[in-house]
Chain A
C-alpha cells in the first residue's frame, strides 16, 4: 500500500472505523443508549406520555423517538455503525490472522528468539528425533528448517483454532445483526417516511380501515395481535405503530373454538390455552390445534401464540330496580357485555355501556406478612416448608357498566353476582364511581333468607312511602308506650317525631339528619339529639319492615338478632344509596360466558440467521478462550538446545509450561 493511499481521508476513515478505540466507544454508547428504553416505558399509548410530561417535553421526546427507542433512526444508526465497524475489523485483521494461523515462523533469528520472554539456552544434548517426539507428545505440529550454520530449527505450534474463534465470534455478530434487521420494522419505517404507509389512529371497524394502513400477506416479517371471541374468526392482526396501528392481512383465517383457563388449588393460574382452527385462504385446508403459553403453533411460517384472554361479548341477564320509583316491581332486561344499548328510565334516555364480564375474580384474602409476629415465630416460619399462604379466593363473576345521560355524562358501576360473606352476614356488593381514575365506592346490600335483595328493596320502598308513615309511627309509639319509654301524654308528640325522622332520613339518609342538626341545633346539644334520632330510627325500622311485609301480604319479619341486624345494615345501605346516583339499580342475575383469546402472531424470517449467529458466537468464544495458542522453537546444536515459547495470551499457564519444559535433572543449567 502506498503512503499516499494511507493518508487519504477514505483510508483514515477505514482505519478509524476498524479500530479498537472506535469499537469500544460504540459498545459503550450502545449500552448507554439501551438504558434509556428501560427507564422510560416503551410503546405506551401517546396520551399517557402527554399526560406525564406536559405538552413541551412530550413533543420533544417524541421527536427524539424516545417512546420507541429501539426502533428509532438514531439507535438503528448506532447498530449499523457497530456492524460496519465489526465487518471492517474482520476485513482488516482477517488476512493477518489467516496468515498467522498458517505460519510456523521457522525463519526466526537467534536474536529474536533470545529476546522472547520465555527463552533459554540449555546445555544438554538433544537429538532431532528426541526433539520431535517432545513436540509430538505435546500435540504440536512443527516445521523443520536447517540453517546455514548447521543448526536445526524446529518451529512448532498448536491451538491455531484460537484465531479461528476470532472469525467465528465476529462474523457471528454481523450475522445476528442482519437477522435482527430482517425481523425489525425497518421496511415499515421507510414506508411511513415516504408516506406509503400511514398508521391509523381512529378506532374504526376493521373493514373500514383504509388501504394505506393495511399490509398484505406478502409482508416478510411482522409481529402483532388480535383478539378473537369464541366461535368467531379473524384474518388480520393489528401492529402497533407509533401513535396508531396498522392492519396486517394473514394468509389464513383463525377461528377460536374454545378458550380454557385452569387454576391451581391456591387460585394461581395454571394454564391458558386456546383451541383454534386455522383455515388456509387458498387451499381451504383446516388445521385444528391447541395453543398454550410456551407452546405456539406454526403455520405458513407464522407463529401463533397465546398472549392474553378476556371477555368476548357475553349475553347477560339483569334485573333493573327503579330507584326513583321504588314501589315499582323490578324488570328483567337483557344485554351483551362489551356492547352498548339504550335504556329508558323515568322518561329519560340513557346509554347503557357494558364493560367486561369477569367470571373469575381472584382476590387475596390473606392478611399479608404479619408485622406483629415475634422473632421466634418468624424463625419458626422460616424453617417451615409449606406452600405460600396467600389466601387467593374467587369471589365470583362481576360486570362493569356505564350509564351515560343525554348530556354525555357517565357514571361507572360494578356489580358482583355472587353473595359475599362479610363479618358473618351475606351481602350483594355494588360499586360506583364518577371518574375512571377514582377507586370504586362499594355498597353492601344485605341479603334475605332467600339470598335475594328483594327484602331490602321492599324495606327501602316502604321507607320512601310517606303514605305509610302514619301507620309506622303509630306502631313505634305504641311499642314505646308499652315499654314505658314514654308517658301517654307524650305519645302523639313522639309519633310526630318518628314521622319526621323517617321523612328526613328517606330524603337524604344520615347526612340529611346531620345537616339539620348542624343548621338548627346549638352545638352543645347536637350529640345528645343525634343519639335520640339514631335510637328512634333503630326502633322504627322494625315497624317499617313490619308494615312493608304486611302490605305485601308476606309473613311477619322474624324478630331475632340476625334479622334485626339485617334491618340495621339496611339503614346504612339505604343511606349510602344517596351517593349511588343512578336511575336504576342493575342486578346481574345470569350470563352465558363467551370468552375471547388474545393471539399474537409473528413471522420472523431472520430468526434462523440469529440462531445460526448465536451458535457461531458461542463456538467462537469457546475457541478464543479455551484453545490456547502456543508456539515453541527448538534450536538444536551439538550439546546445546535453545528453547523459546510464546503465546498470544501472556499468562500463568505459559510460565508453568515453560518452567516444566526447561526443568532439567541437573537443576537448570541454561541461561537466557
Chain B
C-alpha cells in the first residue's frame, strides 16, 4: 500500500490492491446510502472505475479511504438526486425546524450500546432517504456539518436540522421496535 502512495501513478496491480483493501468499505457505504444491495454493488463497481480514471487527481495528503468514500458519497448522492424521489433534501429551504425536540425520546445510548447491528441497520433502512443520507455521512464517513453541507449543496443550518431530526427518527424507530 505504501508503495502505491510513494509512486507517482499507480499501476494496474496496485489498483487491484486498492480495490481489495477498500472494496468492502465502499460497498458498505453505498449500501447504506442507496438502501439496496444490488444498486450498491453496481455503484461500488462504478466508484472504482471512476476512482481509477481520476487517480491522477488524488492528493496523497488526504487518506485514501476518505478520497474513495468521497467519490462514493458523491456518486450515490447523484444517484439519489436522479432518482428524484426525495427532492426535499436538496431544497435549500430550512423548513424543518426541530419543533418536536421536547417530545421525541431522548438519547438512546443504552439501546445503541447493546443494539445488534442488524437492528440498527433495519431501523436505518426505514428512514427517509434524506435522513439516512445525512446520518451515514455524519457517522459512517465522520464528516463535519460543513463538509456535508458542501456535498449536498445545503446550508450548514439545514444540515444540522436534518441530522437532529434524523437522529430523533432513528431513536423513535429503535424504541418502538425494541423497547
Is the pairing of A and B real?
no
Q: B-side interface residues toward A, CB under 8 Å?
A: none
Q: A-side interface residues toward B, CB under 8 Å?
A: none
